[in-house]
Structure 1
Amino acid sequence: MPKLVTVFREGYSLANLRQDAISGMTVAVVALPLSMALAIASGATPDKGLVTAIIAGFFISALGGSRFQIGGPTGAFVVVVFNVIAQYGYDGLILATLMAGIMLIIAGLARFGTWIKYIPEPVVTGFTSGIAVIIFTSQIKDLFGLKMAEMPAEFIAKIEALWQARATLDPVNLVIALGALAVIIIARRTAPKLPSFLIAVALASLVVAIGNLPIDTIGSRFGGISADIGLPALPDVSMARIMQLMPSAFTIAFLAGIESLLSAMVADGMTGRRHRSNCELVAQGVANLASGLFGGLPATGAIARTATNIRSGAKSPVSGMLHAVFLLIFMLLLAPLANYIPLAALAAVLMVVAWNMSEMDRFARLLRGPLGDRLVLIVTFGLTVMVDLTVAIQAGVVLAAILFMHRMSESVTIAQTPAGNGNGNSNGTSGGKPSPKNRPSGSAPLIRQDQPDGLPDNPIIRDGIPDNLEIYRLSGPLFFGVANRLTDVIDSVAGYPRDFILCMDDVPMIDASGASRIEHFITTCQRHGTRLFLVGLQSQPQKVLTGMGILDRNALHVETDITTALQKITPTA
């Protein structure tokens, strides 16, 4: 069920339409220069980026499972699209996009949307940061105005070619690029609500037009932008062609699915809403089919534009649909003015996009995580930059799976069960600790305990838990496969309690993804004024959480046992 249908069933007012129109216009202003810049970086013409944002953006919002998702071309596709066009031509890219759309629809109907939890955070961060490095280096040529006959696709060869062309640096081009970059940075720091990308591109275009500066523009390199979207058309299709493009189509579908669901999760975190992951995948599939039929690029949910949409006060998916309509109006009316846009200014825009994609803070935080997660992060990052994105994702996921199996084998030991618990003489327990009595065998890793078993005999909990206190127990390793379930804990509670005890004495192991979920859980509790108590941390989880700086949060109380936590809560409970 698309969220648009839900919104209309709930009731949609004129005031909501007015607010959606304002936010849609705001996002369209941000997306206008970004769509053209991403298309150019992908090896396509700027109008292809606009067509993608218009066609795919409309369907992603109209049919998607998120109220606030904004779709269009993104930086994640730049490397893939560039390589597909270089190897198979633009017609090959269209076919690969159509195939990816079909894959996404099948994935959504098969309810694979919840499988995103099986992609570890080091893999996602590794290939995202790697893509950022590739985008950054691909813009050095236009940033400095270097004269090069051809830009190699391989990273090392590209760096060598750029160095060899250093003597052709154009000072005028560099000044325009640095000026646009300065405008973006200053505008974001002093007036973050203003469309910094559009302001920088507009000012740079004005300077180039008035000064008649001899640097590359959209008009000089591409002959301008067509104001005609055109009619749907199919590319040449054959079984041999389909098999040839299957790996590229799978990569496009994988990236579209991952980034769209990550963007929807970010939107959920900002608004407190819940997206429908399988519905979102179906919408992404339809959007990519439509974009391919109109000659556009692959599309997915754009995190930055989605966040802009939310901050602008969007109320429903209508905002995203109107963003596509406004872009269409811009394309029809302002296409002639695009001839004056300098490629140096668009290079500055993409430099900022690459920096934002790099996620330096998250990358640095993961480097402080367990050794295995660091290895997965570095391998995925290195293979993305040096080899190929598909290989990087495959290697990262396989390495993470092997690492997980290794961790699971070390977290299980054989220990003698104390007499009198009714479980026999010996039992395999996590971390060498006996399981709490009466714990159901085979229970899920995340268990709500209204009357927690295995806790010290205490009159406070024997008489019942106060209404303003919730107690949950985590049982089992908190790794990337179950980490996202922790986010659902606070949402399952009727209202937000004043105090929340999370018992972790049965959690023998935690990885970087689990630690990130704990951090997100702390932030959620803090936002709603809930005091969070982590109780009974074992040595490995405590070491990881301490190393990543998560236990330093002011809103968090760490206690050795539940009795101590309850004693601190009781006077105010």
Structure 2
Amino acid sequence: MFELRSNPQATVKADLLSGLTVALALVPEAVAFAFVAGVEPMVGLYAAFIVGLITAIFGGRPGMISGATGALAVVMVSLVATHGVQYLFATVVLMGIIQVLAGVFRLGKFIRLVPHPVMLGFVNGLAIVIFLAQLGQFKEMGPEGELVWMQSPALALMLGLVALTMAIIHFLPKLTRAIPSSLAAILVVTGLVHGLNLDTASVVDFVRTMTGDANASLQGTLPSFALPAVPLSWETLRIILPYALILAAIGLIESLLTLTLVDELTQTRGQGNRECVGQGAANVVTGFFGGMGGCAMIGQSMININSGGRSRLSGASAALFLLAFILFGASLIEMIPIAALVGVMFMVVLGTFEWSSFRIMRKIPMADALVIVLVSAVTVITDLAIAVLVGVIVSALRFAWDHATHMTAKTEVDAQGWKSYQPQGPLFFASVTSFLDLFDAKSDPDDVVVDFRDSRVADHSALEAIDTLAERYLREGKRLHLRHLSPECRQLLDKAGDLVEVNVLEDPTYKVATDRLAG
């Protein structure tokens, strides 16, 4: 369970170098998200270390990177502004407990109910969000202390370094794979900037701009254990519970969707329920050690996978490298040009965006194409959780509408004069009207059989429709016989009495989702 190198295709060298590359990219991301949440940079860095380490070892997806994320930060900011950072730590602990319970009750399996168009929209939207987040790096401090867009020649230098970084990442693998191309690009661009004494922003400049402190640094100490300094009362629970529920939902949705994406990239299968438990445990610990909490990070996960990281060692080493930077190597990390990290993230954007979605737009149903665009737009405008929920709801309504018109029935009359109806298609809330219109109680013979062998009785509306049909035949003094009903329909016996005949031996059992694949 705790074997760090669980993937036979992974190598120690690839995992360690990939982990180092991810750690370098994690630094500005964690600082930026801490700033969004309204907390100190070290709160974001501690979260990236603790969440990254625990999920790498105990989570359900080797090779996936977790840490502080923007999706969670935008929810945290109002809590911090209103009640302070200690309430955030308490909220993160409760958030983690909720996530652990989601894993214990095996709710991770329901991520498989997310339609593929929603997945495409999620990936495209997140790629756009990552791209837009990097545009802030092209701003500098103005004369009145505000952020303004860079002007030439600073902008030209920044763009040139970003382009050089992207070129190295693209072309180096064609020559050698001895070192991850992203790491090589960061080292080359850093050496070039300092070797030629080029005037461009570095990581420490970014930190000082974010904090407004001219002396700010990434140098820190080991995180220490402390109970959140909040009253243990119902009032505290009333304050933190709504935030904890929202954060837990966003964290699990983003983590499980990222897990699914990494599954596709690596042609392996992660364990959704184990990931829920791992994420939850990581957040509980983070809250007690002064971190802002976190979840899976699609950008860093893509960097890790593209750099050759496949096993748990890659994620664990990324977290440990990050801690080493905080404790011993802050001065070195602060030297890295922001342009190099922006170039790395731009390559992540190019690799994350599903460019094939443009090609398939005319080949798939219009409704699916609209779902892809809708989810992408909502992801950019609001956040991931809302976008996924909107996409699932729209897809479900479209499915309901389509299948509401697909209810038909085969009919035949046997030698005894009994008329048999064989409904074709699912019977649920949207199709009950079409189902009832298939029958003619006044003209049918005295004995009518409804055979549900080719129809699925899906919900309570379907049960009520069957009961309504039984009452229609009862009023006409005729006998209605039901065959191949699901077990849920047996409750109709109480209402229909002797008029309803159910073949229990052949009743099917339906499963919407199972735990077998979720782990």
TM bin, normalised by shorter chain, reads 0.5 to 0.7
CA distance in 1, matches of 2:244, 2:143: 30
1:175-190 counterparts in 2 under 5 A?
175-190=156-171
CA distance in 1, matches of 2:296, 2:241: 22
Give the equivalent residue in structure 1 for 2:224.
231
Task: Give the 3 Å change call, closer, same or farther, for CA 186–342 of structure 1 in structure 2.
Answer: closer
Aligned with residue 271 of structure 2, among 269, 276, 297: 276
Q: Does 1:380 align with 2:365?
A: no
Q: Does 1:291 align with 2:286?
A: yes
Aligned with residue 171 of structure 1, among 146, 152, 173: 152
Task: Give the 3 Å change call, closer, same or farther, for CA 314–94 of structure 1 in structure 2.
Answer: same
Aligned with residue 24 of structure 1, among 5, 15, 20: 15
Query: Are the equivalent residues in 2 in contact too, given 1:177–1:345 (CA < 8 A)?
Result: no
Give the equivalent residue in structure 1 for 2:116.
121
Task: Give the 3 Å change call, closer, same or farther, for CA 106–270 of structure 1 in structure 2.
Answer: same
Q: CA RMSD in A?
A: 4.3
Q: Does 1:37 align with 2:28?
A: yes
**Which amino acid in structure 1 is aligned with residue 21 of structure 2?**
V
Query: Are the equivalent residues in 1 in contact too, given 2:90–2:228 (CA < 8 A)?
Result: yes
1:309-458 counterparts in 2 under 5 A?
317-362=312-357, 365=360, 368-387=363-382, 389-416=384-411, 425-430=420-425
3-state SS of paired residue (2:56): helix
Aligned with residue 99 of structure 2, among 101, 104, 107: 104
3-state SS of paired residue (1:415): strand
- Residue deviations 1:351-393, cap 9 Å, x none? 4444444434346646753232233333333333334555444
Task: Give the 3 Å change call, closer, same or farther, for CA 150–371 of structure 1 in structure 2.
Answer: farther
Q: Does 1:195 align with 2:180?
A: yes
What is the CA-CA distance between 1:56 and the residue it aligns to?
Answer: 1.5
Give the equivalent residue in structure 1 for 2:203.
218
Query: Are the equivalent residues in 2 in contact too, given 1:97–1:292 (CA < 8 A)?
Result: yes
TM-score, scaled to structure 2: 0.66
Query: Are the equivalent residues in 2 in contact too, given 1:75–1:131 (CA < 8 A)?
Result: no
Moved more, 107-116 or 235-244: 235-244
Task: Give the 3 Å change call, closer, same or farther, for CA 179–297 of structure 1 in structure 2.
Answer: farther
- Residue deviations 1:426-445, cap 9 Å, x none? 2211399xxxx99687599x
What is the CA-CA distance between 1:225 and the residue it aligns to?
Answer: 0.6
1:120-159 counterparts in 2 under 5 A?
120-145=115-140, 147=142
**Which amino acid in structure 1 is aligned with residue 316 of structure 2?**
M
CA distance in 2, matches of 1:242, 1:250: 12
Task: Give the 3 Å change call, closer, same or farther, for CA 191–417 of structure 1 in structure 2.
Answer: farther
Task: Give the 3 Å change call, closer, same or farther, for CA 329–89 of structure 1 in structure 2.
Answer: same
Gaps of 5+ in 1: 152-161, 445-480, 489-573
Task: Give the 3 Å change call, closer, same or farther, for CA 52–394 of structure 1 in structure 2.
Answer: same
Q: Indicate the percent of aligned positions where both proteins have the same amino acid.
A: 29
Gaps of 5+ in 2: 427-433, 435-450, 459-511
1:495-514 counterparts in 2 under 5 A?
none
Task: Give the 3 Å change call, closer, same or farther, for CA 354–308 of structure 1 in structure 2.
Answer: closer
Task: Give the 3 Å change call, closer, same or farther, for CA 71–367 of structure 1 in structure 2.
Answer: farther
3-state SS of paired residue (1:414): strand
CA distance in 2, matches of 1:148, 1:362: 44
1:4-19 counterparts in 2 under 5 A?
4=2
Query: Are the equivalent residues in 2 in contact too, given 1:33–1:197 (CA < 8 A)?
Result: no
3-state SS of paired residue (1:190): helix
Aligned with residue 54 of structure 1, among 22, 26, 49: 49
CA distance in 1, matches of 2:117, 2:242: 23
Task: Give the 3 Å change call, closer, same or farther, for CA 251–333 of structure 1 in structure 2.
Answer: same
- Residue deviations 1:105-147, cap 9 Å, x none? 0100111010102223333443443344344334323225463
3-state SS of paired residue (2:333): helix
Higher relative contact order (CA 8 A, sep 6+): 2
1:458-477 counterparts in 2 under 5 A?
none
1:545-564 counterparts in 2 under 5 A?
none
Larger radius of gyration: 2
CA distance in 1, matches of 2:250, 2:17: 26
CA distance in 1, matches of 2:182, 2:222: 24
Q: Report how many aligned residue pairs link the two structures.
A: 422
**Which amino acid in structure 1 is aligned with residue 373 of structure 2?**
I
Query: Are the equivalent residues in 2 in contact too, given 1:102–1:289 (CA < 8 A)?
Result: yes
What is the CA-CA distance between 1:83 and the residue it aligns to?
Answer: 7.1
